[in-house]
Structure 1
Amino acid sequence: MKFDMHCHTSNGSFDSRVDIEEYIELLRMEGFQGMLVTDHNTYNGYRAWEKIRRRTHKYDDFVVLKGVEYDTRDAGHILVIMPDDVNLKVLEVRGMPLRQLIYTVHAFGGILGPAHPYGAPYLSAMRCRRLKIQGDLLHAFDFVEAFNTCETKESNRQAKRLVDVYHKVGFGGSDSHRPQDVGLAFTEIDADVRCNSDLIYAVKTGKVVGFGGMEREKQKNVAVQRAMSVPFRMYNRSLWAAKAMSRRNNLKHLFQHGA
């Protein structure tokens, strides 16, 4: 089965211009059988899909999976996939440090891996200090996004090397925020994946067999990326601080009462 494993919808990500239905239509036209919705720190895009699914059978031949692109405090963006029967509200509250995120996700049967690990300094795990001083955390990842349409050839080459060196499953994702980028990356799975639990099982049993795609023609200027890093980091830190109490309360409730 052919999936796009990094998808942003306008229903969940403020910086996306692709509605969930348009996303599905575009992917189906390109021969995809499914997608993983990975909006920023929210499941609202997937919730929009659930409403559509309840009222129509138009997309019964297409699989929509539930994920999130989580903003960690110290290691950039991490893709997270939880089992179907697990709903962790804390994954919609940005700012957990990477070690806490890994522990929480694995404690409740989920899997996770770095998005665009060699991308922009303020967004990507391998550009952050945490992975430089605690490289052992790389072993805890279940997969690596080894191809991202938004990245350069060199960035994707380095990500693929992570897969090879650490013997991890590789994902391909378009990271699409615009219609013209939908379906430019793919992940091939040699299994019948119909739900999140199927995907988690496929990852753990070696059924993810390929990834790849096409980089965008135009890439962001490195100097522009560096200039953006300081204000973006300040913006993120202000949000982490504002949500600190909510995050602590969610984690406390989670480990006292379960998901």
Structure 2
Amino acid sequence: MFALDLHTHTRFFHGFESRPTPFDPVGARLLGEVAHRRGLDGLAFTNHDYYEPQAAGPVAHVPGIEVTTTRGHVLVVGPDPPRFTRPERLEPEAVVEMAHDRGCAAIIAHPYRNSTVREVDADFDAIEVNGKHPRTQEWVERLAADHGLPLVGGSDAHYPIEVGRAFTRVDADELTAEAVVDAIRDGDVEPVVGDFLTDRLLRRFYRRIHEQKRHLQRPAWLDGEGGTEEPTPGVGSAPDED
């Protein structure tokens, strides 16, 4: 059994072109050090629309990329993710097909934040419980049950202190990208939400941000609690890129 954070970023801000930068190796090492201190075995670096191989210091590195599709974000994690994608050019279905052609898993990222990917009929491999707003876990669990998909956890960390606030337990015999993909597809994964003091404080912080920006779409089945899920035409830039 391994503990992996399947959604991290190696730099703090994304207000410029999605491409490798000299800071990425520094960010990768910082993320790896914090992951090690928090008892994680590995990280997937999933920068927006580019993949650059990086060493994760004392923990294992799983290749990945967060693709900005026409409907929202999809994580592609596995041995051979694409090195570059053009934001908002690819349909989610095309990203899933590309991921599978490359031996990778395609995961719906933060399905209720600035995204309508959850409405797409495609052969996704899993749905993410996102560390920025784990209060949506019940929504995501119901969505995953409706689609018959396993759940994974990812912190969506942009700062090292955020690593591991949500992560995935992976039941595998070895820690390789191929083994992680197989475990996801077989459902041998489990999301975990961290409970460090920093995790609790950061949740309050991000809750205020998402409420102010109105990035979260509450599912319609919460109509008794103010559910407001509506079709959203396009998603614009990622919340972290505003």
Q: TM-score range by the shorter chain?
A: 0.7 to 0.9
* d(CA) in 2 for partners of 1:43, 1:196: 14
Structure 2 length normalisation: TM-score?
Answer: 0.73
3-state SS in 1 of match to 2:6 = strand
Equivalent residue in structure 1 for 2:92, among 53, 74, 98:
98
* Correspondence for 1:70: 67
- Say how many residue pairs are matched: 203
Using the aligned pairs only, state the percent identity. 25
**Which residue does 1:240 correspond to in 2?**
none
Is contact 2:107-2:126 (8 Å) kept?
A: yes
SS in 2 for 1:141: coil
Aligned counterpart, 1:112: 106
Structure-to-structure mapping, 1:14-53, within 5 angstroms? 14=14, 19-44=27-52, 47-49=53-55
Structure 2: how far apart are the matches of 1:14 and 1:222? 21
Q: Does the 8 A contact of 1:118 with 1:156 survive in 2?
A: no
By percentage of residues, which structure has more helix? 1
Any idea what SS the aligned residue of 2:138 has?
Answer: helix
> Unaligned 5+ residue runs, structure 2?
16-22, 216-231
Residue 177 of structure 1, aligned match among 140, 158, 162 = 158
Q: What is the aligned partner in structure 2 of residue 143 from structure 1?
A: 126
Shift, 1:112, TM fit? 0.2
After the TM superposition, which residues 1-259 of structure 1 pair with which residues of structure 2 at under 5 Å, given as runs? Answer: 1-10=2-11, 14=14, 19-44=27-52, 47-49=53-55, 59=58, 62-73=59-70, 75-82=71-78, 84=79, 86=80, 88-89=82-83, 91-94=84-87, 95-119=89-113, 121=114, 123=115, 125-126=117-118, 131=119, 135-137=120-122, 140-145=123-128, 147-151=129-133, 153=135, 155-214=136-195, 216-218=203-205, 219=207, 220-225=209-214, 233=236
Instruction: Provide the rounded CA distance (Å) in 1 between the counterparts of 2:134 and 2:36.
Output: 26
Separation in 1 of the partners of 2:152 and 2:145? Answer: 13
From the superposition, tell whether residues 26 and 65 of structure 1 become closer, same or farther in structure 2 (CA, over 3 Å): same
| Maintained 8 Å contact 1:188/1:209 | yes
What amino acid is the match of 2:60?
Answer: V
Q: What SS does the aligned partner of 1:172 have? A: strand
Over 3 Å counting, the alpha-carbon distance change for 1:21 and 1:101 in structure 2 is same
> C-alpha separation between the residues in 1 aligned to 2:81 and 2:134?
34
CA-to-partner distance for each residue in 1:168-198, whole Å, 9 max, x for gaps? Answer: 1111111011232222112111213422111
**Whole-Å separation in 2 of the counterparts to 1:64 and 1:20:** 9
Q: Helix, strand or coil for the counterpart of 1:48?
A: coil
User: Hey, what's the Cα distance between the residues in 2 that align with 1:201 and 1:7?
Assistant: 20
> CA 1:68–1:193 in 2, change beyond 3 Å: closer, same or farther?
farther
**Letter of the structure 1 residue corresponding to residue 54 of structure 2:** A
1:161 CA drift (Å): 1.3
Asked if structure 1 preserves the Cα contact closer than 8 Å seen for 2:10 and 2:45, the reply is yes
Structure 1 portions without partners, runs of 5+: 53-57, 237-259
| Greater mean alpha carbon deviation, residues 190-199 or residues 14-23 | 14-23
Distance 1:10 1:189 in 2: 25
